Amino acid sequence: MSSVFSLSLDQELIMTNGVNGGLGGLLAERSSGAPRRRFKRYTTGTYIGLIACAIQGSPDKMLTFKQIMKKLEPFVFGDKRGIENNIRVCLSSNRCFEKVPFDPNYPNPKKNFWKVNENGITPKMFRRHFKYLINIFPGLSIPTQAVDECKDNSHAPEPLACKVAESKSVGKFTGPFSIDSLLKSDREVKRMRSTSLEERVHYGDAQRGTAKRKNVYEYEAVECYNPVSVVGRELASAKIPLLSSGPQHGHSLPPHITYNHHVLFSSPLMYRPTRYVSW
DNA sequence: AATTGTTTAAGAACCC
DNA sequence: GGGTTCTTAAACAATT
């Protein structure tokens, strides 16, 4: 079975800063012996988002490091080794990426698939690394029907489903994990939840490894109170329609909208068909 | 030797 | 402005 994961060099997925453009900018060449390069933060994309998209665009939702590099190859210019290093750092230091043994019977620490661990995606990470998907997914911002029945929202984990029901918003979903909320300031979101959420399970570090991380995610963990993907829950509770049959702005949702958080990454429609990369 | 993964650290951009 | 987050570089270990 083959799958086509399309990436467009000139659209929102790829970082644009008007200078270098695309990964050619983010992944700029480093001249040997030169002082540490000043990097330009790109507004709409990061390594994490890109890697996640590459992985989720694969048929099995997991790739080896080599396969990841292969997927991103068209966007890699210049110092390939440095870029590989950066991607490795990203993979091994972020909890949103998870290793899967190449062969479970013979686990090998150096031979793994990498997959996206949605449990490791916090709202903050979502905003930072995936928010550009909002522009690609009209369904994430369209008015939605009120989600007023917990029992019918069987695809969504209970805690959020009930929270959504509490909000009873007609027209637009405004729950704590609504896209709007996700795009609001963390402070606002935390204030919204502070009165209703009691015990939260600490997630540990969203990133692994470095010393400077050790106290970083203390408060961020507050946003993850259930071992279920925050992103997935958000989409579930908002009953995001599949893009292929999604409603237009101002239209009501079709009756049989099912929760499929994989749409976040898997739909080929998330990319404009400007340039395709197949694998 | 090459590849893969982990860890540390510094600097810069981002966010509150 | 200060804390946080991301990018980059580099060293190192383990494995192929």
The mean pLDDT of A40-58, rounded to a whole number, is: 72
- What residue type is assigned to position A225 of the chain? Y
Tokens representing A86 are 């950066």
Per-chain mean pLDDT for chain A: 50
Is strand B in 7 Å reach of the CB of A219?
no
Return the number of other C-beta atoms located less than 10 Å from residue A9's C-beta: 17
What count of residues does chain A have?
A: 279
**Would you state the pLDDT for residue A45?**
63
- Domains of chain A by residue range: 47-136
**Would you state the pLDDT for residue A157?**
29
Nucleotide nearest to A113 in CA–C1' terms = B4
CA dist A97 and A161 (Å) reads: 26
Tokens representing A170 are 């007609």
* Cross-strand bridge partners of residue A99: A114
The mean pLDDT of A157-163, rounded to a whole number, is: 28
CA dist A87 and A83 (Å) reads: 6
Q: Kind of pairing, strands A4-6 and A97-101?
A: unpaired
Is the Cα torsion angle A45, A46, A48, A53 positive or negative in sign?
Answer: positive
**Would you state the pLDDT for residue A110?**
72
E strands present in A34-172 = 62-64, 97-101, 112-116
Tokens representing A76 are 């890699």
pLDDT-derived band at A164, boundaries 50, 70, 90: very low
The DSSP symbol for A78 reads S
- pLDDT reading at A94 higher than 60: yes
Q: Measured between alpha carbons, how far is residue A273 from residues A9, A24, A169, A208, A270 in Å? A: 10, 19, 36, 35, 9
The mean pLDDT of A55-62, rounded to a whole number, is: 83
Percent of chain A, pLDDT > 70?
28
Tokens representing A148 are 């007023």
**Would you state the pLDDT for residue A207?**
46
Return the number of other C-beta atoms located less than 10 Å from residue A225's C-beta: 18
**Would you state the pLDDT for residue A153?**
32
Is strand C in 7 Å reach of the CB of A86?
yes
A28-43 pLDDT, tens digit each: 343 334 444 445 554 4
- Check residues A278 and A190 and name the one with the higher pLDDT: A190
Is strand C in 7 Å reach of the CB of A277?
no
The mean pLDDT of A136-161, rounded to a whole number, is: 31
A179-219 pLDDT, tens digit each: 444 444 444 444 444 433 333 333 334 444 443 333 333 33
- pLDDT reading at A126 higher than 60: yes
Q: Are A51 and A90 in contact (CB under 8 A)?
A: yes
CA dist A169 and A137 (Å) reads: 21
**Would you state the pLDDT for residue A144?**
29
- pLDDT reading at A244 higher than 70: no
Is strand C in 7 Å reach of the CB of A124?
yes
- Check residues A18 and A82 and name the one with the higher pLDDT: A82
* Fold for the domain defined by A47-136: Arc Repressor Mutant, subunit A (1.10.10)
- Looking at strand C, which nucleotides approach a protein CB closer than 7 A? 4-11, 14-16
CA-based nearest residue to A98, from A3, A229, A211? A229
- pLDDT reading at A173 higher than 70: no
Sheet holding A112-116, edge to edge: A62-64, A112-116, A97-101
The mean pLDDT of A249-274, rounded to a whole number, is: 34
**Would you state the pLDDT for residue A229?**
39
CA dist A231 and A239 (Å) reads: 12
- Looking at strand B, which nucleotides approach a protein CB closer than 7 A? 3-16
